[in-house]
Amino acid sequence: MQLDFSELFLSGDVNYARDDLPLGALLRYIGFTPDDDMEELGRYISGRMIEAAFYIDRYARPQLAARGVLGNRLNSVWLSPDHRRILQELQDFGTVWKSIESGDMKYHFVSGYLISDSGIFCTLTLTAQTAYALRKYGSSSLKGSYLGRYTDRENPWYGATYYSETQGGSDLGAGETKAVEDGGAWKLTGHEKYFASNAGIADGAIVTARPEGAAAGAKGIAVFFVPAKREGGEDNYSVRRLKDKLGTISVPTGEVELEDSEGFLLGERGKGIYYAMEILSVSRIDDALAAAGIGRKALWEAYRFACRRSAFGRRIIEHPLLARDFIEMEADLEAALALSLVAAKHFSDSSESVPPYDDSYHFARMLTHIAKNMASEVGAEVTKYAMEIMGGRGFLSEYPIEKFHRDELVTSIWEGTSNIQALDLLELMVKKGTHELLYTSLAQIVARCNDRELKDAMEKALERTRAEVARMMQSASPEFYGKDILRALGSVAAAIYLQDASSAQGGDVLKDMARTYIERHLAGKSASPDILSRSAGLEWMDGGKATHE
């Protein structure tokens, strides 16, 4: 008898686009309306993608094909047929081409929350940011030759970003890959592109390299589009090996070597580091939304389990201690999602800005650093505790819940760790004073709050945060306090955005969780049994029912 996946995963009947009520309210708040394709995507994820992704993770991981039958060197990664179909079907929903053709990245970002499988979605993230870079900074001839291949409906290309090198990691200025101009073309050589996701499946990649004679450090970096094949059809670079990883098994991550590889300069030579960081912002927002999305899937599954599992004479959801945990996790998750979606909106709205950029872009970038840090921390806690709720079963690899946790952990590492986000935030604060824009914006939002108690808590928290951040910035070592600043701004911004969304039309589903978050994180109130009256804010995850036969 064939396996019914619902025996392993209780959320197989969920439509992650239609049934996620907090998401719907927050999408209305940022002015985004899902189309029919996105609603179909929400159903496809639970009914098809999650099972396939789980199987790939356990039994069908990508493999590097080293040699052809005639002995020729291959630089290709072999995906299972079902893996290839999943990626194509996700592309069919418009997860890449809709945003690239429209210039509005919100469709891609929201798709990332819905999919949120860090391995599967990483392939689409890298593809979207490759196409984003080509569309924005490619020459007319370059776009004419390559951009349409990334938005092709029948056989779309896949992309990658080859930034990190073994000696530098997040320090792009330490990169040693060289670029030499050869007539109107460029030749790139470098052997240490060490964390190259989508290696072996990408048809072209965005690559950082230092042009011959350029300055040392980050200012000398330029950005290139490097096709996987030369004009004559030969491989343009080689894949040395694939890496074994704790999670994100479905995206091949390898080491890439370039040897006189043909490349095409993007934008202007002296602005490469700005382009590189802007392109990276796409995946940082995807990281934030994927972290929130994985947390949502884990919490949804754990809640359904808790409604069905009995212990000590009653269903475990009926135990006040566990009910409290669920309410507090739900509040944290909704706050992280609110902040991440606001960051996505601001980045999309400012994406036509170019170096040296305007205030709208700097504001979006600031929110991106804060959201990535906050969502990855919340997601890690939620997925870890979801495993705990399911007891020993949560620790078994035969059920998907532990995969959610493994895949979530990378969202705090990819595209810069929490320390990197803190340092980049400090740079914005010192050079651009962007935090002052944030304070002004948040104060305007608080001013329109009609709930006197919550308004007072938010006003006091905003002033307290402003004073504390100023004290840390004026200290002998602001860097020492970098993550404290990152978290302080994250807590107050997330609370204010979530409360504002809960006051907007259609935001009723958010109200109890916004109050819970503000009480815990801004007002410093101790929890009381009164919080259990807000459990109705969870029941939508099980069709409005708290118990089942």
Catalytic residues, which ones? 415
Q: What angle do CA 42, 44, 47 make, to 5 degrees?
A: 115
Label the pairing between strands 253-265 and 185-197.
Answer: antiparallel
Distance CA(452)–CA(456), nearest Å, equals 6
Measured distance CA(266)–CA(372) in Å, rounded: 26
The closest of 473, 351, 486, 516 to 412, measured between CA atoms, is 486
Q: What is the DSSP string of 227-281?
A: ESB-TTSSBSEEEEEEPP-SS-TTS-EEEEEEEEEEEEE-S-GGGHHHHHHHHHH
Is the Cβ–Cβ distance between 250 and 56 less than 8 Å? Answer: yes
DSSP secondary-structure letter at 45? I
Rounded Cα gap, residues 485 and 472, in angstroms: 8
User: CA–CA separation, 103 vs 125, rounded Å?
Assistant: 15
190 - beta bridge partners? Answer: 258
Helices (H), 162-221: none
3-state DSSP of 446-491: HHCCCCHHHHHHHHHHHHHHHHHHHHHHCCCCHHHHHHHHHHHHHH
Distance CA 157, CA 159 (A): 7
Q: What are phi and psi of 257, to 5 degrees?
A: -120, 130
Q: Are 237 and 259 in contact (CB under 8 A)?
A: yes
Q: Which residues pair with 265 in a beta bridge?
A: 224
Residues 6+ apart with CB under 8 A from 432: 359, 362
Give the C-alpha separation, 464 to 479, whole Å: 20
Q: Return the axis-axis angle of helices 482-503 and 452-473, rounded to nearest 10°.
A: 160
Which of 156, 175, 178 shows the shortest CA–CA distance to 166? Answer: 175
Type and span of the H or E element at 160: strand 159-162
3-state class (DSSP) for residue 427: helix
Bridge partner list, 311: 314
Nearest to 351 by CA among 424, 283, 432, 281: 281
Secondary element (H or E) of residue 226:
strand 222-227
- Distance between CA atoms of residues 155 and 16, nearest Å: 27
